[in-house]
């Protein structure tokens, strides 16, 4: 008895304790503990944790202090907002005192909610980056010339090594290193690499902007004497290909600048800079490094101890002052790439003295190898995505990329090696020259992509759909290479705009990619020409300014996605003028007197040949420009712009955009609508665009819908016939038409053309072509994200029912489609507010739905039920449940408003 009372008391107490909301997960610029934030008004976000339902923030109080001590005493000497009445907990602009370069800033927040106030959060911090050009007023070092270690003819450079020993007279309290190493660098102190990033920094057009990385090196500089070392690889600074200078942008020879800002324990400060007292060498082990071709490493040439104290560098030459890249110096806010996963080979086989490794999965990165043998033995690793029938590597689709790494042994002891300045897209690796018996354990696949968390999970009762999600995840991750590349294996690897307008939106359900895409939008903005033209590839490493309409649509469309998914208004503010300029440019240059945008570059790129045989052996790079696509896109983007104009305070533009749109709609119908139903050439893509964008006249909608269904069901026998453009809209259009069943059918097909067909033929990612198993290898990557179209968006929004209505999921629309043959969907998405979950199961008699909505967010949910009296939540009727508000009952759905918290609904549909 006593025990029970004790338990009751405890329960009661713990409920009370839980009642107080807690603020957690504090982030500056959506990063935890960031350093090097070179934005004068960064944004602060936090999440509210509570077991209570229906929790809404009513006010916040932020304190920002210049020291942890002040913050602990609740003194916001930099910013004390006082109590601000607001429900905003995401991306609140810092509005305190001006911040100084390199300053450390400490902050915390307390929130007031409708269910009580929180305590102060645990302290968080950010460190200001270098805000001014003059913060980098020392000169660049490097060698702007070739050495005999370089192969000038082939355009291969050996890596450059730089070193310097330093002596500190006092004890270091804090030291921050700011490093720019172009194209790619590794930075060492006392022989140890600083940071776990690889292939850093992020790629940019260096004549526009250059990214620096920031490291806290306080610990590494704890003694008096230290050695600093930097290795420089080419990346894309020294162009990957020299033979097409008219096309490929070259920036020059690798170079660097570095500074370490030190505060000593006595409060005094000192900054160390790289200069011509550093020494350099090129005759090291990395003989050549090239993103497409691979790395050659001669271990006999290792400069043993070069980045440590006491190394004899008398043979090295003084670093030289070199030309600066020209671009603005910026802190890299998006994360660098990292080895995100180790992948063991699933098998190793040998034939003719060569080994073949199979990793069981297509991915991008490289292989780490363990080897022992005689000095001078050369081991070669060649990479490919698939095998020929005879078991050899299929490398025709790599085009000119050699995708080969070479390691030359120094001899005697066991040696472990992995390359530093290259990566490959592969599943198979052929190893030749390996001394002795090789074993699977001698190799490890290193999966490399930008460090970002997986934020979404999706599974369902349909195994093929689940497999598709798995493939999508691998494909997307493989193609994050500080820019969204089209593919990681052939001699291309460019950030093509047209591959991503909708893909990025779907990707955001899987990866925490906001800062990645914020950076890419900046790359796009900086690639814009003065007249407004935007290229098809940005950064414009390839100069492809084709004046396309559909490819650059990625620019406004990704801005829209970021705004909708993270509530980031600054992204709209920063890009609105450039987007508008581009729209004006396209209209001025390409709108004819009938109101049609005449210019399109690729058409519905990579639409499937009618049969798999029709596409056999044929190259897929034929372009079919089509003004229906360009005009339809122009119309769609005008509406986006009209919407943006409100958020950026340019309401006056809105009427103009809408009026232009109305005119285009008229002209579009006049020019392209066939009275028997259907647009232009009456293809699926043309009709989907007219439908989804709302170009079709209201009274012709049914006819158009019939035509869309006729194409899919009759002409295509239940398959799609869309390329990169049409596939971006197909799933949502069908759902909007009330034909989710047909959309679902497309995802469950295993016959050509379909995603399932790729899987049936061994795909572990997503192919570039629907007919990827028979097409000409010239343009046939096995790891391209563009064909995902809107599949992921549809899976999360329409199947799981997780869709942002406004302000980065602060209001969520949850409206899962019920489809015959799909009994169960379970998905989660970690929004900026916290985790959103939707987990439903349906049977003939009952629909059960578990939902979680994070605090300070709310949802409008659509329950399949005739009326609210057939619904229970937590086994209670809805009536009298104050957390739940019935909004409407129509068409077999009951619309209900819920606040944050966890719920279990049951209905009888």
Q: Report yes or no: 52 and 18 within 8 Å, Cβ to Cβ.
A: yes
Q: In whole angstroms, what is the distance from residue 552 CA to residue 143 CA?
A: 37
Reading the block at residue 299, the tokens are 């271990």
Which stretch of DSSP H or E encloses residue 475?
helix 463-478
Question: Which residue, 373 or 552, has its beta carbon nearer to ligand RAM?
Answer: 552
Interior angle at CA 887, CA 884 and CA 889, nearest 5: 115
The nearest distance, CB 484 to ligand RAM, in angstroms, is 11
Q: Which residues bind ligand RAM (CB under 6 A)?
A: 486-487, 492, 496, 498-499, 602, 605, 779, 784, 786
Question: Which residue, 208 or 783, has its beta carbon nearer to ligand RAM?
Answer: 783
The nearest distance, CB 486 to ligand RAM, in angstroms, is 4
The long-range contacts involving 339-342, CB below 8 angstroms and separated by at least 24 positions, are: 339/196, 339/198, 339/365, 339/446, 339/447, 339/448, 340/447, 340/448, 340/449, 340/451, 340/477, 341/447, 342/444, 342/445, 342/446, 342/447
Q: In whole angstroms, what is the distance from residue 578 CA to residue 534 CA?
A: 9
Q: Report yes or no: 534 and 524 within 8 Å, Cβ to Cβ.
A: yes
Q: Report yes or no: 193 and 220 within 8 Å, Cβ to Cβ.
A: no
Which residue's beta carbon is nearest to the bound ligand RAM? 496
Burial 1-16 (b: 16+ CB within 10 A, else e): eeeeeeeeeeeeeeee
The nearest distance, CB 637 to ligand RAM, in angstroms, is 18
Q: In whole angstroms, what is the distance from residue 345 CA to residue 444 CA?
A: 7
The nearest distance, CB 551 to ligand RAM, in angstroms, is 7
The SS3 call for residue 523 is helix
Q: In whole angstroms, what is the distance from residue 711 CA to residue 689 CA?
A: 14
Tokens 């799981």 identify what position?
800
Q: Report yes or no: 767 and 781 within 8 Å, Cβ to Cβ.
A: yes
The nearest distance, CB 496 to ligand RAM, in angstroms, is 3
One-character DSSP codes across 660-709: HHHHHHHHHHHHHB-TTS-BTT--HHHHHHHHHTT-S-GGGHHHHHHHHH
The nearest distance, CB 527 to ligand RAM, in angstroms, is 15
Handedness of CA 12, 14, 17, 22 (dihedral sign): negative
Question: Which residue, 492 or 507, has its beta carbon nearer to ligand RAM?
Answer: 492
Question: Which residue, 455 or 725, has its beta carbon nearer to ligand RAM?
Answer: 725
Q: What is the dihedral of CA 55, 61, 65, 67, to 10 degrees?
A: -50
Interior angle at CA 760, CA 757 and CA 763, nearest 5: 90
Q: Identify which of 258, 257, 240 has the alpha carbon closest to the alpha carbon of residue 248.
A: 240
Question: Which residue, 192 or 623, has its beta carbon nearer to ligand RAM?
Answer: 623
Q: What is the dihedral of CA 733, 739, 740, 746, to 10 degrees?
A: -80
The nearest distance, CB 623 to ligand RAM, in angstroms, is 8
The nearest distance, CB 157 to ligand RAM, in angstroms, is 26
The long-range contacts involving 578-581, CB below 8 angstroms and separated by at least 24 positions, are: 578/525, 578/528, 579/555, 579/641, 579/644, 580/641, 580/653, 581/528, 581/532
The nearest distance, CB 580 to ligand RAM, in angstroms, is 24
The nearest distance, CB 773 to ligand RAM, in angstroms, is 17
One-character DSSP codes across 544-565: -----SSSTTHHHHHHHHHHHH
Q: Identify which of 203, 249, 252, 806 has the alpha carbon closest to the alpha carbon of residue 522.
A: 203
DSSP state of 788: G
Question: Which residue, 458 or 541, has its beta carbon nearer to ligand RAM?
Answer: 541
The nearest distance, CB 365 to ligand RAM, in angstroms, is 20
The nearest distance, CB 487 to ligand RAM, in angstroms, is 6
Question: Which residue, 495 or 731, has its beta carbon nearer to ligand RAM?
Answer: 495
The nearest distance, CB 449 to ligand RAM, in angstroms, is 18
Question: Which residue, 126 or 767, has its beta carbon nearer to ligand RAM?
Answer: 767
The nearest distance, CB 726 to ligand RAM, in angstroms, is 15
The nearest distance, CB 784 to ligand RAM, in angstroms, is 6
The nearest distance, CB 555 to ligand RAM, in angstroms, is 15
Question: Which residue, 546 or 578, has its beta carbon nearer to ligand RAM?
Answer: 546
555 to each of 550, 571, 787, how far by Cα in Å? 10, 11, 19
The nearest distance, CB 544 to ligand RAM, in angstroms, is 8
Q: In whole angstroms, what is the distance from residue 627 CA to residue 597 CA?
A: 6
Question: Which residue, 120 or 544, has its beta carbon nearer to ligand RAM?
Answer: 544
Question: Which residue, 230 or 766, has its beta carbon nearer to ligand RAM?
Answer: 766
Reading the block at residue 678, the tokens are 């259907």
Q: 282, exposed or middle or buried, with CB in 10 Å at 0-12, 13-18, 19+?
A: buried
Q: Identify which of 773, 684, 696 has the alpha carbon closest to the alpha carbon of residue 731.
A: 684
The nearest distance, CB 537 to ligand RAM, in angstroms, is 8
Q: How far is CA 76 from the centre of its chain?
A: 35
Q: Say if residue 351 is preceded by a cis peptide, omega within 30 of 0.
A: no
Strands (E), 843-900: 847-853, 858-864, 871-873, 876-877, 884-890, 893-898
Reading the block at residue 151, the tokens are 């192969």
Which stretch of DSSP H or E encloses residue 213?
strand 209-216
């Amino acid at each position: 008895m006593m025990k029970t009372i004790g338990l009751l008391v405890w329960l009661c107490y713990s409920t009370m304790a839980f009642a107080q909301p807690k603020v957690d997960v504090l982030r500056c610029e959506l990063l935890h503990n960031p350093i090097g934030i070179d934005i004068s008004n960064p944004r602060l976000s936090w999440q509210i944790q509570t077991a209570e339902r229906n929790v809404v923030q009513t006010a916040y109080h932020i304190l920002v202090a210049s020291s942890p001590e002040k913050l602990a005493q609740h003194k916001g000497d930099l910013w004390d907002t006082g109590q601000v009445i607001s429900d905003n907990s995401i991306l609140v602009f810092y509005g305190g005192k001006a911040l100084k370069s390199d300053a450390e800033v400490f902050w915390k927040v307390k929130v007031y909610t409708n269910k009580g106030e929180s305590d102060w959060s645990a302290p968080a911090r950010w460190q200001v980056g270098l805000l001014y050009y003059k913060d980098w007023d020392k000169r660049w070092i490097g060698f702007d010339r070739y050495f005999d270690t370089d192969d000038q003819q082939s355009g291969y450079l050996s890596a450059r090594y730089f070193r310097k020993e330093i002596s500190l007279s006092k004890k270091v309290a804090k030291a921050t290193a700011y490093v720019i190493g172009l194209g790619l660098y590794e930075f060492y102190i006392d022989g140890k690499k600083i940071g776990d990033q690889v292939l850093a920094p992020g790629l940019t057009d260096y004549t526009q902007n250059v990214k620096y990385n920031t490291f806290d090196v306080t610990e590494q500089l704890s003694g008096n004497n230290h050695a600093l070392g930097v290795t420089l690889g080419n990346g894309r600074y020294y162009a990957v290909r020299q033979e097409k200078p008219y096309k490929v942008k070259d920036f020059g020879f690798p170079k660097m600048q570095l500074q370490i800002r030190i505060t000593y324990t006595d409060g005094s400060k000192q900054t160390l800079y790289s200069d011509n007292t550093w020494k350099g060498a090129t005759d090291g082990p990395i003989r050549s490094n090239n993103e497409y071709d691979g790395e050659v490493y001669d271990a006999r040439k290792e400069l043993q101890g070069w980045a440590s104290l006491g190394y004899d560098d008398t043979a090295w030459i003084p670093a030289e002052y070199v030309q600066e890249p020209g671009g603005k110096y910026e802190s890299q806010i998006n994360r660098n790439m990292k080895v995100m996963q180790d992948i063991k080979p699933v098998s190793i086989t040998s034939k003719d003295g060569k080994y073949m490794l199979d990793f069981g999965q297509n991915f991008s990165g490289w292989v780490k190898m363990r080897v022992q043998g005689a000095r001078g033995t050369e081991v070669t690793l060649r990479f490919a995505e698939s095998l020929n029938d005879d078991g050899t590597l299929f490398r025709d689709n790599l085009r000119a990329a050699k995708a080969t790494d070479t390691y030359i042994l120094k001899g005697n002891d066991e040696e472990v090696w992995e390359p530093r300045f290259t990566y490959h897209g592969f599943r198979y690796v052929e190893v030749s020259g390996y001394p002795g018996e090789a074993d699977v354990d001698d190799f490890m696949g290193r999966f490399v992509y930008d460090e970002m968390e997986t934020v979404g999970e999706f599974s369902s009762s349909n195994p093929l759909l689940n497999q598709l999600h798995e493939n999508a995840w691998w494909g997307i991750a493989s193609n994050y290479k500080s820019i969204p590349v089209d593919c990681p294996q052939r001699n291309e690897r460019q950030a093509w705009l047209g591959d991503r307008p909708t893909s990025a939106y779907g990707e955001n359900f899987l990866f925490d990619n906001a800062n990645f895409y914020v950076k890419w939008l900046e790359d796009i903005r900086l690639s814009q020409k003065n007249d407004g033209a935007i290229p098809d590839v940005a950064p414009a490493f390839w100069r492809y300014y084709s004046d396309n309409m559909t490819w650059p649509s990625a620019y406004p469309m990704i801005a829209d996605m970021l705004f909708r998914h993270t509530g980031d208004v600054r992204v709209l503010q920063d890009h609105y003028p450039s987007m508008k300029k581009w729209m004006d440019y396209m209209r001025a240059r390409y709108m004819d007197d009938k109101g049609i945008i005449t210019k399109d570059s690729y058409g519905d790129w990579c639409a499937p040949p009618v049969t798999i045989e029709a596409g056999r052996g044929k190259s897929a790079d034929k372009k079919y420009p089509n003004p229906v696509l360009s005009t339809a896109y122009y119309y769609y983007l005008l509406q986006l712009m009209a919407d943006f104009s409100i958020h950026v305070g340019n309401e006056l533009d809105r009427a103009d955009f809408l009026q232009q749109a109305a005119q285009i709609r008229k002209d579009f119908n006049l020019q392209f609508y066939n009275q028997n139903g259907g647009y232009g050439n009456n293809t699926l893509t043309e009709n989907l665009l007219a439908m989804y964008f709302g170009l079709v006249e209201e009274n012709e909608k049914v006819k158009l819908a019939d035509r869309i269904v006729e194409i899919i069901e009759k002409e295509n026998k239940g398959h799609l016939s869309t390329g990169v453009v049409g596939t971006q809209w197909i799933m949502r259009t069908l759902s909007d038409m009330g034909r989710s069943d047909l959309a679902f059918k497309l995802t469950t097909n295993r016959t050509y053309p379909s995603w399932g067909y790729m899987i049936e033929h061994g795909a572990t990612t997503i192919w570039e072509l629907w007919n990827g198993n028979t097409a000409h290898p010239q343009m046939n990557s096995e790891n391209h994200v563009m064909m995902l179209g809107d599949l992921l968006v549809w899976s999360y929004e329409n199947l799981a029912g997780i869709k942002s209505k406004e302000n980065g999921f602060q209001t969520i629309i949850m409206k899962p489609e019920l489809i015959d043959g799909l009994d169960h969907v379970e998905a989660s998405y970690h929004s900026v507010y916290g985790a959103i979950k939707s987990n439903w199961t349906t049977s003939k008699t009952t629909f059960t739905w578990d939902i979680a909505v994070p605090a300070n967010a709310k949802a409008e949910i659509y329950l399949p039920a005739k009326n609210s009296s057939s619904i229970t939540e937590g086994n209670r009727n809805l009536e009298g449940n104050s957390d739940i508000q019935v909004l409407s009952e129509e068409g077999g759905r009951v619309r209900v408003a819920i606040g944050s918290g966890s719920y279990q609904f049951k209905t009888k549909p």
